[in-house]
């Protein structure tokens, strides 16, 4: 099939269908990663961690592996995560952001964040932008965010600026 011959409506329809399929596959991948983590499968294959297994054996880039690990692990305490990723209400970047902050808070406070709070935050992050998610998570954990703008120059000479960061 030549994409150039498709009408805009057909191309849009095909793209939406592919994205839906991608989300379904992501759901299955996350379920498998959660089970591999539960079984500590990576140890059977000589890897010291799930991260090493996913990057070295499976072939994920480091960021991709970490986002999937974060989603798989959060799903054990907030099961709605996977369904919300599949529906498009959440994305991996939001889930990874939440998990990163949870790890930092738990490490600093030496206390575990309750599953109920995690589930509540997952619900609150639904249908939010990444920037809105950053603000929401920082407020939930009383973390001060500092404005930081990262500027990236694109090949087409446009400039992309992003973000709030935590510190």
Cβ–Cβ under 8 Å, residues 28 and 17: no
- Residue 144, pLDDT score: 78
> Which is nearest to 67 in space by CA: 33, 35, 41?
33
96 sits in the region (left: phi over 0; alpha: psi -120 to 50; else beta) called alpha
CB 98 within 8 Å of CB 121: yes
User: In this prediction, what percent of the chain has a pLDDT beyond 70?
Assistant: 86
Distance of CA 47 to the CA centre of its chain: 23
Where do the structural domains in the chain lie, given as residue ranges?
14-166
Q: Does residue 29 surpass a pLDDT of 90?
A: yes
pLDDT tier, 157 (very low <50, low <70, confident <90, very high otherwise): low
Span 102-135, pLDDT tens digits? 999 999 999 999 999 999 999 999 999 999 999 9
**What pLDDT was estimated at residue 164?**
46
Whether the predicted model's global pTM rises above the 0.75 cut: yes
Say how many residues make up the chain: 167
How many CA atoms lie within 13 Å of 83's alpha carbon, on the beta-carbon side? 7
**pLDDT tens per residue across span 64-109:** 999 999 999 999 999 999 999 999 999 999 999 999 999 999 999 9
């Amino acid at each position: 099939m030549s994409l150039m011959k498709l009408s805009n409506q057909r191309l849009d329809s095909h793209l939406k269908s592919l994205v839906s399929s991608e989300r379904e596959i992501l759901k299955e991948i996350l379920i498998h990663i959660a089970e591999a983590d539960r079984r500590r499968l990576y140890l059977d294959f000589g890897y010291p961690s799930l991260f090493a297994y996913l990057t070295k054996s499976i072939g994920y880039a480091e960021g991709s592996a970490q986002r999937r690990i974060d989603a798989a692990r959060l799903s054990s305490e907030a099961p709605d995560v996977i369904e919300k990723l599949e529906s498009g209400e959440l994305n991996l970047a939001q889930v990874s952001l939440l998990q990163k902050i949870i790890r930092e808070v738990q490490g600093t406070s030496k206390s575990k964040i309750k599953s109920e709070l995690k589930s509540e935050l997952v619900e609150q992050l639904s249908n939010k932008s990444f920037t809105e998610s950053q603000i929401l998570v920082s407020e939930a954990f009383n973390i001060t965010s500092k404005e930081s703008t990262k500027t990236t120059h694109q090949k087409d000479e446009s400039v992309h600026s992003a973000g709030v960061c935590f510190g």
